Amino acid sequence: MYRNDWVDRGYPSTCASASAAPPPPDGFVRVYHLCEAAYAAANIERARLKVATFADANDPFELSVFYSRDPAQRRRLRQFIDDVAKRFGIVCFSEDWLDPTLWSHYGDKHRGMALGFDVSEGHLLPVRYQPQRTAFPAAVVPDLVDQFLGTKYASWAYERERRIVVELAKAERETMEDRDLFFEKFGSEVRLREVIVGPLCKEDVAALRAKVNSLHSDVTTFKARLADKFFSVVPDEPTVPPRW
């Protein structure tokens, strides 16, 4: 339905939403945040996304791109890691939502949802994947923090991840059970554009679409299904709204 429009914007013709939703405008990138259905509903209602802190990361090698064998350098590296972890959090997205492994790991075993956002290009940090860790430099280099925040082991490459890096001191904050939670608000640089109901999610698509439309404009809501011929998750065509 929109496939040629996506290709014209530089996206591959295989991207999952090309048959369901318009592509992003110039200056923005379409990315997807997968989560449990209850969290997705709260995100939609409150117009925000939870910021992950590195203390809660599911990868124990987060912030571990560098190593050093020198004791003094190791102390300096440990201090740098501690400082970065205290200052920053991240909101994680994937470049697409067609990989079933993403739904298994982040979409509550296909019972959750994927929220598609147009995020301004300068607001996103692409994640680099590499097979080995890197020696910690003796001097601070310009992109040192980005290397800490945006490098993962090569096996994670299937995620095709991009991140919003959030300074925790500037984030929206709530305290719950003596624990601080941080949030990134939707806004001019983070715009909700798609709500994709997982293949095994029990949410009623029509009711959800009505709720989304009452809270946000220009959002396409539809259900996903397992593809017939491929190991992919794709739009469930009867639930896709007609082209605008």
**Rg of the chain over all Cα atoms, to the nearest angstrom:** 19
Determine, yes or no, domain membership for 244: no
In the block, tokens 């201090």 appear at 79
- The distance in angstroms from the start CA to the end CA of the chain is 10
Q: Which domain holds residue 70?
A: 3-239
Angle of helix 37-46 relative to helix 205-215, nearest 10 degrees, comes to 30
How confident is the model at residue 202, as a pLDDT?
97
- Which pLDDT tens digit goes with each residue over 208-219? 999 999 999 999
- Which pLDDT tens digit goes with each residue over 163-179? 999 999 999 999 987 78
And the tokens for 74? 């190791």
Secondary structure (3-state) at 16? helix
Asked whether the predicted pLDDT for residue 141 surpasses 80, the reply is no
As a 3-state breakdown, the chain gives helix, strand, coil percent values, each rounded to 5, of 30, 30, 35
How confident is the model at residue 244, as a pLDDT?
63
Number of domains in the chain: 1
Enter the pTM of the model: 0.95
* Cα(184)–Cα(69) distance, integer angstroms: 37
Determine, yes or no, domain membership for 139: yes
- Which helix (H) or strand (E) is 103 found in, with range? helix 100-106
